[in-house]
Amino acid sequence: MLACHANLFPHFPVADCRHHRKGLDGAVRRVLDGGQFVLGQEVQEFETEFAHYLNAGATLGVASGTDAIELMLRALDIGPGDKVVVPALTADASAAGVRRAGAEVLLADIDAATFTLCPQSLAALLSSSAGAGVKSVLVVHLYGQVADWAALQQVAAAHSVILLEDASQAHGARWCGRMAGTLGHAAAFSFYPTKNLGALGDAGAVVTNDEVLAERVRRLRQYGWRERYVSEETGINSRLDELHAAVLRVKLRTLDEHTSRRRALAVFYTKQLLIHGVVKPPIVRPECEPAWHQYVVRSAEREALQQHLAASGIPSAVHYPRALHQQTAYAHCQTMPLPVAEQAAREILSLPLHPYLSDEASEVLCQTVNSFSSRTNDATP
Ligand SMILES: Cc1ncc(COP(=O)(O)O)c(C=O)c1O
């Protein structure tokens, strides 16, 4: 009879709210007492604090990460008739934001080691006939690992395309000491509740050092208003609520501490998992300090491993079971073979990792993964 360890693995957003409960109660009270519910003082304070945290010029709070992608593209006049490259393995939302801006999505393959956009694949795409007319590349720091920025910059410069970041999974990650979200011309963040910095519902932000771009996003997020009731251009309603901003301000204070805990857990997992070699642990580039939004391993027996973990009450998940071109909505975005993303989609498994996991939980997790090894080895004649 297997032990059930479910109580050692709380769901991150629930544990996060429990941990911050006192501060969140105060934040909700402040919003109720303040009497302003959308784009008010809390939003302004959060925008200042998040920009300061990142060492960025400006943060513009919007209603979701998908909106942030759409708005930063629209603010750069990237839309109908333009093409934007997106990695083939990412959240659908990365591509959905580009489509919402009206631009065409083209897919490039990922790097087998880090799951982020492969610079060689990007170069091949941009040099091909399909790549003509590409204006921008949306670089996704998937699972909290910063993509190979130096190599991507070289490719982008050679082809005169703008690098933008989807930092929705990379709050607090760094590349050569610089924060993810400040590397490209602009970045989109999501604050969906499961993110490392999460609100109580949908929320997002555009981050940039470009003042003109910031001003344009500020207009576009609210009907294109130059001033109240005076629209300069057609915008949308994508405002950040006061409640979410107040909550984000509370959680931002512990983001670094929580990222450190994620990093310590990741180091421990990798060390333990390498001993038995049942799964391939994630590989980190020396320039990158990941945010560890997900700790993703590879296994040729992913489904069996997942069942083995579930039998002990250990949750796991697949982010994502299909590459973008393997989904009806984005099948037409493929112009070249994307074998690395396809193989990853077959093998990846996200193991539980967040700051509310105890040392005991981390030991149980690694032992349980490693015991799958002995099970399969035992079965080998
Ligand atoms: C990589 C990535 N991009 C974009 C998004 C979109 O964010 P949201 O769900 O806030 O629209 C997400 C969140 O799911 C994401 O993980």
**Are 198 and 118 members of one domain?**
yes
Q: What is the pLDDT of residue 103?
A: 98
Q: What is the pLDDT averaged over residues 9-28?
A: 98
**pLDDT digit string, tens, across residues 309-325:** 999 999 999 999 999 99
Residue that terminates a domain, selected from 207, 230, 252: 252
Letter string b/e over residues 145-171, b meaning 16 or more CB atoms within 10 A of that residue's CB? bbbbbebbeebbeebebbbbbbbbbbb
Q: What is the pLDDT of residue 33?
A: 96
Cα(303)–Cα(307) distance, rounded to whole angstroms?
A: 6
Q: What is the pLDDT of residue 380?
A: 40
Q: What is the pLDDT of residue 174?
A: 98
**Are 156 and 276 members of one domain?**
no
**Are 210 and 140 members of one domain?**
yes
Assess whether the C-beta atom of 291 lies below 6 angstroms from ligand 1: no
**Are 248 and 296 members of one domain?**
no
**Are 58 and 190 members of one domain?**
yes
User: Quick check: pTM over 0.85?
Assistant: yes
Residue that terminates a domain, selected from 213, 229, 252: 252
Residue 144 lies inside a defined structural domain of this protein = yes
**pLDDT digit string, tens, across residues 152-168:** 999 999 999 999 999 99
Ligand 1 centroid vs 190 CA: distance in angstroms?
A: 5
**Are 180 and 326 members of one domain?**
no
Torsion (CA) 365, 366, 369, 371 in degrees, nearest 10 = -110
Q: What is the pLDDT averaged over residues 179-191?
A: 98
Q: What is the pLDDT of residue 3?
A: 78
Assess whether the C-beta atom of 169 lies below 6 angstroms from ligand 1: yes
Angle at 307 between CA 306 and CA 310, to 5 degrees: 90
**Are 29 and 177 members of one domain?**
yes
Assess whether the C-beta atom of 294 lies below 6 angstroms from ligand 1: no
**pLDDT digit string, tens, across residues 200-256:** 999 999 999 999 999 999 999 999 999 999 999 999 999 999 999 999 999 999 999
Ligand 1 centroid vs 87 CA: distance in angstroms?
A: 14
**Are 25 and 75 members of one domain?**
yes
Q: Which has the higher per-residue pLDDT, 267 or 376?
A: 267
Assess whether the C-beta atom of 165 lies below 6 angstroms from ligand 1: no
Cα(142)–Cα(159) distance, rounded to whole angstroms?
A: 24
Pairing outcome for strands 58-62 and 204-208: antiparallel
Residue 233 Cα to chain centre, angstroms = 30
Q: Is the pLDDT of residue 329 over 90?
A: yes
The CATH code of the domain that includes 343 is 3.90.1150.10
Q: Which atom of ligand 1 is nearest to the CA of 204?
A: 10
Residue that terminates a domain, selected from 225, 252, 279: 252
Ligand 1 centroid vs 37 CA: distance in angstroms?
A: 24
Q: Is the pLDDT of residue 270 over 50?
A: yes
Cα(217)–Cα(222) distance, rounded to whole angstroms?
A: 9
Q: What is the pLDDT of residue 185?
A: 98
Assess whether the C-beta atom of 140 lies below 6 angstroms from ligand 1: yes
Which two tokens mark 162? 């703008």
**Are 242 and 264 members of one domain?**
no
Domain that holds residue 293: 255-374
Residue 6 lies inside a defined structural domain of this protein = no
Which two tokens mark 298? 């590879």
Angle at 41 between CA 40 and CA 43, to 5 degrees: 70
Q: Is the pLDDT of residue 81 over 60?
A: yes
Q: Is the pLDDT of residue 73 over 80?
A: yes
Ligand 1 centroid vs 269 CA: distance in angstroms?
A: 26
Q: What is the pLDDT averaged over residues 328-337?
A: 98
Q: Which atom of ligand 1 is nearest to the CA of 67?
A: 11
Residue 293 lies inside a defined structural domain of this protein = yes
Ligand 1 centroid vs 95 CA: distance in angstroms?
A: 10
**Are 342 and 264 members of one domain?**
yes
**Are 156 and 105 members of one domain?**
yes
The CATH code of the domain that includes 191 is 3.40.640.10
Q: Which atom of ligand 1 is nearest to the CA of 141?
A: 1
**Are 95 and 198 members of one domain?**
yes
Count of the separate structural domains present in the chain? 2
Q: What is the pLDDT of residue 7?
A: 95
